[in-house]
Each structure stands twice: as C-alpha cells, then as structure tokens.
Structure 1
Amino acid sequence: MGLRIRREPHLTLATPSPPGAPSRRPSALRALLLAGLALLPLLLAACNPVYVARAGWAQAGILSAREPIPQALTRPDLDPRVAGKLALVWEARTFAVEELGFQNAGQSYTSWVDLPSDTLALVVTAAHRDRLAFHTWWFPITGRVPYRAWFSEDRALSAAADLSARGLDTRVRPVAAFSTLGWFSDPVPSTLLRQDETGVVETVLHELAHNHLFIPGQGRFNESYATFAGHAAAITFFCTRPGGGPDTRWCLRARDRWADQRTVARFLVELEEELREGYTDLREARREHGDEARAAADLDAFRSRTFGGARERFASEVQPTLRAGGWATLGSEELDNARILSLTLYMHRLDDFHRLWMEEFGGDLARALAALREEAPRHENPLDAIEALSLDP
C-alpha cells in the first residue's frame, strides 16, 4: 500500500488581550523553557514522552525564530508580497478580536516565522479498510484526535508505514499552519503565506477559532465549526473592511470559496453515508456466509466500485459547478477511507452552520460565535448546539 502525501492548510494540535505584538523576539533559551514547562504535563501523562519531547523541541525552535509582525514590516529587505500578506493578517486578526469577539486569542498570530522549508509539519492519519472509522491517538489536552503531527518527514513516513503494515488506509499530509489552542503564541509560518490573500486570512481565522472554542475529544465538531468560523469571519472581514465591500475582488472570492466548500461538503458527506451503508451490508454478509476469502474479495470490489464512481461523479457533476477553482485533484486522485475521513472531518453540517449564521442570527457572526461558544460544551454531541440555537428547529 503506497503512502500518499497531500498538502493541507491547517491542523489543531491542542478575555481576548489587545492585539498588540510581543515587544521583542524571544530568546531561544526562553522559548525552550516555555515549551518545556508547557509540555511537562504531557511528559508525565500517558502519551509517548519521546514523541512529546521531539514535538516540544521542534515547537521551541519555531518559537525562538519568531519576529513580531510590526517589526518585520519595517524591514526594507522584506519581500513586498510577504509584507502585504502579513499586514493583512494583522488587520484580520485585529478585526476578529475587536469586532467578532474571538476569545483566548492571546498573542497568537502577532508574529511570524520564516521557515527554511516549504512544510511546517506532516500529519499522519489512518483509517480501517472495512469501515469508516479513524485510527485515533489520545493526548492529555486535546483528548482523542484522529491525526498525529510530526516535524520530521522520515519519522512521519515511518509511522505511516507501520500503520499501513497493520492493514490500515494511511495518509501523510503536510500542513501550512496549526493551533496550539493558546498554549503558545503561535506565529504565522512562512509556509502559510504561499496561499493567496483569502486563503491566508481564512486559515489564520480558522486557527484563532480553535482558541475561541475547542472541546476535547470532539474532532468532528471542532474542525467543522472552525471551517465555518474561518470562512464566515473571512467573508465578514473582506466584505466590510475599509476599502472593501460586497463587490470587491477579495470579498467575492471569499464568498465563492465558502460556497465551494459547502458544495464539496455535500458531495463528500453523501459519499460517507454511501460507504457506511455499504460496509455495514458487507459485515452482515460476512456473518451470514463466514467465508473470509469471499469477504475480502467483496470488500475490494465494493471499494473499487464506490471510490471509482465517486471520482467520476465529482469530475463530471461537482467540479464544473465550483466557482473559485481548487479541488481539481479530487476527481482523479486515489481515494480511500483515510482520505474521505480526513476531508469530512472538516465538513460536517456546514450548510447548517451557514443557516444558523444567516437566518437565526441575521448575519451577525459575532453573536453566532458567542452563542456557539456558550452552547456547544453543554451537549454530548456538540453539533446538537445548532438545533438548540435555532428558533425554528
């Protein structure tokens, strides 16, 4: 089974302050001490201390290389394209805190770091071949999560190979940014700045949304909510900022990207349901006939037929309707359970989040996000907060 590496924009690894920047670049020793102190509870808990130590060392290296954005913007040698995007991040972050009421922002994304490579981290995901279920990892702060991040390509590929050898569908994907949920003052990594302006702002606001609301062990809610919050906040920012407006290029592009995200989500969630039903039928047939060889052949045939049909439908029916480009490879790439789950993790009930924002809160995103922050933790399934907040469920 081959290991596939795909690029993804973000990842969650675990009273808002004024959006001021750190006054100076932190020393390497100070960053190491901060990372060590913050990670000490992890080292003493059940997760692998060697893994945590390596992650802490890598995080400390990133922290020690941070530069405050206002300081960077004064440098004459800074690439103008980088400067423009950093200035936009600063403006969008300020907007999110002051106008949208994002909580727990701290000093996250008030600095940036120029990384020597085009990859910030590699994330390994795995899923069972005969059912739509992630292989998961448990961490003390985040709870059980369906991915594991590595700062070393060799270690990520080795971990993925071990999972693949156990018969799991496996994916390795680079990420351009991540959130530490306020434990550190996350910088804007240079890897993120390879995206266009709307992508940069959406991703930073997605990560800040995790600081605003994160429920341990609820990956599907956390990522789907943050997908909604990042896109909706980007739309609100670009369409209302000074010099912006509903007919400006970035506002229109942000709206198109959100519309595309919801279109793709509908397709993928339907595919997820088709797969769940098919795998259930296969398990029942296996119990009835008890023939393992036949069951394996039936499983392979079902996967080939279903994933192949999904690629064809996406290329012919979904891709032509998308407004902002992107998603081109989904109609041609090899699909498996790990790929589908890694996408739908971010895409559950996006239309319902949108409806909540537009209809129940009249387009007032600040009120919608504040209400979700209060309501979602009350539910065993935090997605039930959508119904609880609906005036007409």
Structure 2
Amino acid sequence: MIRPLPSLGLLDRVLRVLFPGVLFLLLNGCASVSYYGQLASGQLQLLRAREPVAKVIANPQRDPQLRAHLAQSQKARVFASQHLHLPDNQSYRLYADIGRPYVVWNVFATQEFSLTPQNHCFPIAGCVAYRGYYSQSAARGEAAMQRLNGMDVSIGGVEAYSTLGWFNDPILSSMMNWGDERLATLIFHELGHQRFYVKDDTEFNESFATFVEQEGTRQWRASRGLAPDNGMQMRQRDQFIQLILDTRVRLERLYAQPLPAEQMRQRKAAEFERLRSNYRTMRESQWAGDKRYDAWINLPLNNARLLPFGLYDQWVPAFAALFRQEGGDWVKFYAAVEKLGGLPVAERKAALKALADLQNAGG
C-alpha cells in the first residue's frame, strides 16, 4: 500500500529540522562550505517544488500535453513496483517544475595526460567522478578554476538523478521533452538505484540500473502487446561507445609512455582526430549517414569528455547472465545482486567478469 504524502507544511517543518543536521555532517568533510551549501539549497528547492502527479492530472487548467504525459508515466510507475518489484513509494508519483532544462550540471576533470577522474566523496553516495552544481554558472566557474590548474574539464547537463531513497524523487519538468517510453525507462533505472546501491562502485551501480532499465523496458513493451524494439538505435549507441572505449585504451597506452610533454600533446591530439575520422567512416558505411552523434563529436575533445562512457553499461552483460541464472525471477535476482555487491571489490569484479564472459559467449 502506498503511504500518503505528508502535507507540504509538515514536510517543510521536517526539512527545517533535518537540513541543519545534515549540513553539519556534510560540512565536517573536506569540501567547501559554499559547495555543500548550494547542494543543500538546490535539493531543498527541488523538494519544495514537488506536487502529487495525480493533482496535476486532475487539474483541467494545467497543460493538456503535460497531463497526458504524466498519466502515461504513472502506468509505468505501477508496472515498476508490481511487476519489476522495484520500491513502492512516492518517488515518481510526484512532479516538480524546475524551470530550467537540467536539474544539475556535472563537472568532470582529469589531469592533462591521464584518464583517471578527479573523484569526490560524499557521505550518502560515496565517491563519484564529478561534482554536481544546481547552477550552470557555478559549474562553469568550477570548470574555469580547474582549467587554470591545467586540468582537462567537461561539463554535462543532467535531466534527472536519484537520492537513493533518502527522499521521494519527483518526475521533473526537464524530462518532459522525452517520449512516454523514454520516461518509463528513466523511472525503471532510477528506482533500480533505490533498490540496491553499493558505495564507491559507479560501474556496478550504473550497470545494474541500466540492466533493470533495459529488461524492464522489454517486459513493459511486452505487457502492452508491443513488438520488441528493433534495437537499431541501441546498436548505433553501442558502436559509438565502443569507438570511445577504443580511444580510451589507446590514450592510456600513450600516457604510460615516458614522452616529452609537447610530443605527448601532439599524439593526444592525433588520437582525438583519429576518433573523429573513425566515427565519420562508421557513420557513412554502417549508419547510412545518420548524424545523431555529430554534435558531440564536433565539440572540442579532451580526456574529461570521455569519462562517462562505459560507466553505465560495462557490466550489463554480467547482470543479464545473473538474471538468466535466476530464471528471470526479479526477487531472486535482486537477492543475488545484493550478495554480489557485498563481496570485497576484487572478488566482486572477478565474479562480474566471469558472468560477463559467460553472457558474451552465449552460454
């Protein structure tokens, strides 16, 4: 049974009591007071903007397209809990108009000749390879400071994120340009994070949530009598990601060499030009000229722009094999995932590799 949402007045009183304590814990870390202050302020503003989706749908004065989109989202939300056994709470049964295209902007940074991200550690989420800002100007300011320090830097807008069950996460206005199915996949993915999360292991967490998203979407389509997706866009996405990963491998080999800085810069630039050339060849020979990734590839490239690739799907084949081993039973699958996540890091990665090899071998 779904718990009733407390009144906004009660919620505000709770937050006024809660946030000073949370801030006290956060500010005892090594990060700046101003950075954690904007995180707390941004999250609080988002929470206060929430309203029940049912209220929006029932209001004839609200935008009809918004109401229809939200109505479809709630069908996927019910499916997520009843059929995928994902958390049954108020997350994604709320809506928040944030008045901007992204909820946060993430800043990624690496050394000039390294693909190792500058990690940042937080009490709840653990260590991640970026810093998030609720203001685009603040993100740009951080990026400018990092560049002055000689770092490779990239800024990426984020349309949604999960608080891992600490709060009831809303559907955001930044998601409203998505189609109904894309919004459903987001709900499955983010609820996957709420279902299980391992601190300090981004590859595990994102691959797990991505598998839940992909298998959940397949079952969601089947439940509505829709034919399976032909997978063309997914294949193109996978091929594009593989180009990026291949470039990362070559750059890692390059950076391991004892070369003078100027020669290293020249060879680094040549690798990025090779990436662009390989992309254009693939686009024309295999995609019939489809230019969906042109905008990304034609922007200035550096190490930091390559960081997100591979994080979201590195272990998806491993989770697919595990799901099959558990007979496609979601409850048993989650129990197996929790057991896997409880292993020491080295054992966990070895187990994931064994599962991925099994899946990739077709057995």
TM-score scaled by length of structure 2 = 0.86
Residue number among 338, 353, 378 corresponding to 2:304 in the alignment: 338
- What are structure 1's unaligned runs of at least 5 residues? 1-17, 287-294
Pick from 211, 220, 243 the counterpart of residue 267 of structure 1.
243
Alpha-carbon distance, 1:367 to partner: 4.3
Corresponding position of 1:252:
229
Aligned to 1:68: 52
Q: Distance in 1 between matches of 2:39 and 2:245?
A: 33
SS of the equivalent of 2:157 reads strand
User: In the alignment, which residue of structure 2 is the partner of 1:297?
Assistant: 262
> Could you tell me whether the CA contact under 8 Å between 1:202 and 1:233 is conserved in 2?
yes
Correspondent of 1:201 among 173, 184, 209: 184
Q: 2:121 aligns with which of 117, 122, 138?
A: 138
**CA 1:279–1:191: 2 relative to 1, 3 Å:** same
- CA offset digits 1:66-123 (Å, max 9, x no partner): 11111111011222322232223222222222211224x5322120101222221111
Alignment length (residue pairs): 356
Alignment correspondent of 2:80: 96
Alignment match of 1:231 (pick from 197, 202, 214): 214
Spell out, residue by residue over 1:187-243, the C-alpha distance to the aligned partner (whole angstroms, 9 max, x if none): 111001122222222222221111112111112222233223223222221222xxx
- Cα distance in 2, alignment partners of residues 173 and 201 from structure 1: 22
The offset of 1:41, in angstroms, is 2.5
Task: Report deviation, 1:306.
Answer: 0.8
* Secondary structure of 1:84 counterpart: helix
Which position in structure 2 is the counterpart of 1:13?
none
CA contact under 8 A between 2:203 and 2:315: conserved in structure 1?
A: no
SS at structure 1 position matched to 2:142: helix
Q: Aligned to 1:78, which of 57, 62, 75?
A: 62
Taking the aligned partners of 2:357 and 2:267, their CA distance within structure 1 comes to 42
Q: Deviations over 1:14-48 (max 9, x none)?
A: xxxx4566264455444444444444432344433
Structure 1 residues 252-290: Cα deviation after superposition (integer angstroms, max 9, x where no partner)? 27x44544443333332222222212221x2xx33xxxx
Separation (CA, whole Å) in 1 of partners of 2:330 and 2:278 = 34
Which residue does 2:313 correspond to in 1? 347
Per mean C-alpha deviation after superposition, the further-off stretch among 184-193 and 377-386 is: 377-386
Which residue type is aligned with residue 55 of structure 1? Answer: L
Partner amino acid, structure 2, of 1:316 = T
1:65 alignment partner AA: A
**Is 2:106–2:139's contact at 8 Å kept on the other side of the alignment?**
yes
2:124 aligned counterpart, secondary structure? coil
Q: 1:391 to 1:337 in 2, by over 3 A?
A: closer
Letter in 2 for 1:209: G
Quote the sequence identity (%).
24
Counterpart for residue 373 of structure 1:
338
User: RMSD across aligned C-alpha pairs, in angstroms?
Assistant: 2.9
The code of the aligned residue for 2:80 comes to: A
Which whole-Å CA distance do the structure 2 matches of 1:38 and 1:204 have between them?
27
- Calculate the TM-score normalised by the size of structure 1: 0.80
Matched, 1:127 2:93: no
Structure 2: 5+ residue runs without aligned partners?
none
Question: Counterparts of 2:18 and 2:286 in 1: how far apart (Å)?
Answer: 48
Match of 2:253 among 277, 280, 283: 277
The 1-side partners of 2:327 and 2:278 are apart by 35
Counterpart of 2:295? 329
CA shift for structure 1 position 175? 0.9
CA distance in 2, matches of 1:178, 1:337: 24
Query: How many angstroms apart in 2 are the aligned matches of 1:192 and 1:331?
Result: 24
Asked if 2 retains the 8 angstrom alpha-carbon contact of 1:361 and 1:368, the reply is yes
Partner deviation per Cα, 1:115-145 (whole Å, 9 max, x = no partner)? 2222211111111221211011121222221
- Aligned amino acid, residue 54 of structure 1: Q
Q: CA 1:352–1:311 in structure 2 vs 1: closer, same or farther (change >3 Å)? A: farther
Partners of 2:330 and 2:263 lie apart in 1 by 48
Separation in 2 of the partners of 1:246 and 1:33? 48
Higher relative contact order (CA 8 A, sep 6+): 1
Taking structure 1 as reference, are residues 152 and 56 closer, same or farther at Cα in structure 2, changes over 3 Å only? same
